[in-house]
Amino acid sequence: AQSVTQLDSHVSVSEGTPVLLRCNYSSSYSPSLFWYVQHPNKGLQLLLKYTSAATLVKGINGFEAEFKKSETSFHLTKPSAHMSDAAEYFCVVSDRPGNTPLVFGKGTRLSVIA
Amino acid sequence: DTEVTQTPKHLVMGMTNKKSLKCEQHMGHRAMYWYKQKAKKPPELMFVYSYEKLSINESVPSRFSPECPNSSLLNLHLHALQPEDSALYLCASSQDRKGARYGYTFGSGTRLTVV
C-alpha cells in the first residue's frame, strides 16, 4: 500500500531564507511523487514531479526536490523564500504500475515573514 | 489548452435544492476525478471516471450523483445536501488512469455552501 507523511504541518520562514518542506513516502512499487501547491481559495497547481528519471527534480518558481530511495524521502526545497510562496503544500504519491489514484499527504502550511 | 475549467466558482444552495457542478477539459485526457476538500485538509477522492465509465466510487452518499456525458465533460449533480457538505469541490483529469503517474491537472474548484 502507498502512503505519504508530511513531517511538518506548519513551517514559517523569513523572506529571503531557504525553504525545506519534508515528505516521506511508502510504496510497494517504484513510485511517482509530486508536490502540489494550493494558494488560499484556489485549486491545486503542480510544482514538480518525479517519475523515475533524474532524482533531482526542478519545478516552477525556483522549487526543487530530491528523490532519495534509501531514505524514502522527497523533500521540497527553495533557496530563497518569497512572500508569494506562502501557501499550502501537498506531497503526493502514485504507485506504478497500478491504477490506484493519487494519495495525498496532510499538507504543510508555509508562512513567509517579511 | 492545458486547463481544467470548473463552473460555477461559488455556489450557495438550500438543503432542498438541486444543483450541478460542471467540469470541462480539452487536453484529450480520458480519466477524470471529483475531489472534496474541507478547510485545512487534503482533498478526498469521491469519484473516478475512466473512458467515460465510473470506475471508483469512494462510498459517497447518493445525494451526490456524478455524470460523464462525453470525454471532455464531467458533472456532479447535487440534491438534498446537508450543511456538512459545504466544501471546495475540485475536478481533476489525467491522460488515463495509468497516466496518473504523470500527475493530475486540477481545476480551480467550486466553493459550495449549503444553508
Q: What is d(CA B115, CA B97) in angstroms, rounded to the nearest whole number?
A: 36
Q: What is d(CA A106, CA B103) in angstroms, rounded to the nearest whole number?
A: 18
Is the four-CA dihedral A20, A23, A29, A33 of positive or negative sign?
negative
Asked whether the predicted pLDDT for residue A96 surpasses 70, the reply is no
pLDDT tens digits for range B49-93: 999 999 888 889 999 999 999 999 999 999 999 999 999 999 999
Comparison of pLDDT for A1 and B59, the residue scoring more:
B59
Q: How far is A80 from chain B (nearest CA, A)?
A: 25
| A49-83 as b/e: b if 16+ CB within 10 A | bbbeeeeebebeeebbbebeeeeebbbbebeebee
How many cross-chain Cβ pairs, A to B, lie less than 8 Å apart?
58
> Which of B56, B103, B108 is nearest residue A42 as measured by Cβ atoms?
B108
Q: What is d(CA B107, CA B115) in angstroms, rounded to the nearest whole number?
A: 24
Cβ-Cβ contacts under 8 Å, B25 against chain A:
none
pLDDT tens digits for range A35-79: 999 998 889 999 999 987 789 999 999 999 999 999 999 999 999
Question: Does A39 reach chain B within 8 Å, measured CB to CB?
Answer: no
| Cβ distance of B109 and A45 shorter than 8 Å | no
Cell numbers of B88, please?
471546495
pLDDT tens digits for range B88-109: 999 999 987 776 677 899 999 9
> Which of B40, B98, B107 is nearest residue A99 as measured by Cβ atoms?
B98
Q: How far is A71 from chain B (nearest CA, A)?
A: 21
Question: Does B107 reach chain A within 8 Å, measured CB to CB?
Answer: yes
| Cβ distance of B100 and A101 shorter than 8 Å | yes
Asked whether the predicted pLDDT for residue A16 surpasses 70, the reply is yes
| Cβ distance of B101 and A32 shorter than 8 Å | yes
> What pLDDT shows up at residue A98?
54
> What pLDDT shows up at residue A31?
85
Cβ-Cβ contacts under 8 Å, A44 against chain B:
43, 90, 92, 106
Q: What is the mean pLDDT of residues A16-28?
A: 94
Q: What is the mean pLDDT of residues A77-86?
A: 97
Q: What is the mean pLDDT of residues A84-94?
A: 95
